[in-house]
Amino acid sequence: MSGNVVSSRGGNVTAPNPADGTVTLAAAPGLSLFLNQGTGTFVTGAIADVDGIVNAGTMDIGGEWNTIETTVTGDLVGVGTADAGSPYDAADLGLPATFSPFSYSHCSEKLDWRTSTASRGGLIAGLDVDMERVLADKLLIQGDFAGRWGVDVNGNALLPNTRTEFLKVEGADSSDLSILPSLVFDFTDVTTSSAGWTGFSVASAHFADNGVSLGRNGSQVSSAMQQAWNRIEDGSATEVKFGADEISLGQVFGALHQSTPETFFDMLLETTSQTVAVPFSSSPSAAISAANSVLSCPAFETSGVMLDEGSCVWSRALGGESTQDSQGDAAGFTQSTGSLQIGGQKELGDGWFLGSGLTYESSWFRNDSGSQKLDHDSFVAAVALKKEVGLWLLGIGIGIGIGGGGGYNWDYSKRYINLDTLSATATGSPDSAMVFGRFRASYEIALGDEYYMRPKVDLDVINMHQYGYTESGAGALNLMVDGNSDTAFGVTPGIEFGARIPFLEDWPARFYGNLGGRMGDDVAVCRPVIDGQLLDLYADRRYGGTCYPRPRPCQTAGHGAETAM
């Protein structure tokens, strides 16, 4: 028991007991009456052996997540305040009109069953209901049942078209029972079977359009949940069964029954992924970087500031960390990257040059909360054929790579899911690939003996493909992801300014900076969210969002320094 004061009266003897310890009640000669005041909570056991229970507070059958059957050997009456609609008033019975507040939701509307000074009646809280296993707390009353009562459901698992029976009264039943709704679910009125058991079922579900404001991703998840529920309800789909150690669909529905307008959005986003498509959406930048590495291998002429193409071998080791802030309902993430590039260029004669390069990259992605992680490895290969005509340099870079693509990404994702009391780790392999092409034209202008300017323009075409995959480890919350392909086009005019600086004898250094503006389909900047199916219960709806190409201009800038032996 918990609360303020609980009294046990046997005959004409009253014994007050503090409610922070263990109170043992048993029938005594004459009348035995158990009073649960408005601020008290009575957690029942297998039997309440008293002539009568007057409940102005809360009854919890066995406690939440502990499914039991309780027998009340006497009468049970629910008490509240007359001004809130209770037929039995606490003050009329000599009980304090003070209560522990209890509120619930009907869609996004907040309603009060009790305030600190008013109560609509008794409350049965935490009624464990598992509609998958057809289990529930049960209350058997051998005496009479009276008063107004609210029943708060603890949804262990909820499903459509499934009746739950929880109450049987062997005496007179004059009670008024209400199964309290939630943000997502409405319940039917209670009915009594021919066997005398009172029960209810889910009347309707409101995953979508329940009054809570959701972003794009949250709206798609809620729509998918709604369609999954509707298809089970109308018989066009059946629930997929999972092992006892995995999350079931009914448990997901039950967890969302416990949501509030304040927590619903976050709970929806627990069911989807926002990091696994980051490598896919960043493919354009990887392709452009690879093409840039082989499109030019310049060195200063013996004297002066003019650059000249030639044969070379080069390598680069790069590392860094980048952060993308959250946008709307899409979480931000941090990327840590290390890469190694090697390549070279061969002069073919008559101003023709052939360049090639290979890049290996290893990256680690983490979302802001640390609940989603991705380990990423990739190879990108590129070749370039160039023609130098006087001061003009025309180049066409064509990517070729593993499996006929320009690059391939191997990824391993983890999602740590915590949905109400449910927890699981979903793992998957969201691999992706790309092919790309770049055309570049540039012209160099000497600005004296030490400085130069090089206008240029790049034309890009990049095709990306996300392979389909299915997660494991989370049962009903495993994502089943369809493959998806996108092609992006872009035009990037720019200009490079550079300077020749003496470094060592016959070994000058080049310092340079670039400015440009890219126009075209920028997949890299759209949100990295994927298509996913929920349990294959529907075929025409996806959730989680999709990273589509969209026209978006952006600015580019860079600087660097290099030497050539």
Beta bridge partners of 58: 41, 123
Predicted TM-score (pTM) of this structure: 0.77
Residue 531: the pLDDT is 34
Task: Render 333-387 in DSSP notation, one character per residue.
Answer: EEEEEEEEEEEEEEEEETTEEEEEEEEEEEEEEEETTSSEEEEEEEEEEEEEEEE
Q: Where are the domains of the chain?
A: 5-205, 278-313+346-354+364-563
Token pair belonging to 28: 């005594």
Model pLDDT, residue 535:
38
444 burial (CB, 10 Å; 0-12 / 13-18 / 19+) is buried
> Is the model's pLDDT at 211 over the cut of 70?
yes
Q: Which two tokens stand for residue 407?
A: 């690059």
HSE-up of residue 67 (Cα within 13 Å, Cβ side): 16
401 pLDDT more than 70? no
397 pLDDT exceeds 60? no
User: Which fold would CATH assign to domain 278-313+346-354+364-563?
Assistant: Lipocalin (2.40.128)
Residue 359 has pLDDT above 50, yes or no: yes
Please tell me the least confidently modeled range out of 43-52, 142-151, 530-539. Answer: 530-539
257 or 328, which is more confident: 257
At 400, the pLDDT band (50, 70, 90 cuts) reads very low
Q: How confident is the model at residue 454 (pLDDT cuts 50, 70, 90)?
A: confident
Least confident piece of the model among 300-304, 337-341, 454-458: 300-304
pLDDT computed for residue 3 by the predictor: 38
Does 396 score more than 60 pLDDT?
Answer: no
Quote the mean pLDDT of the chain. 81
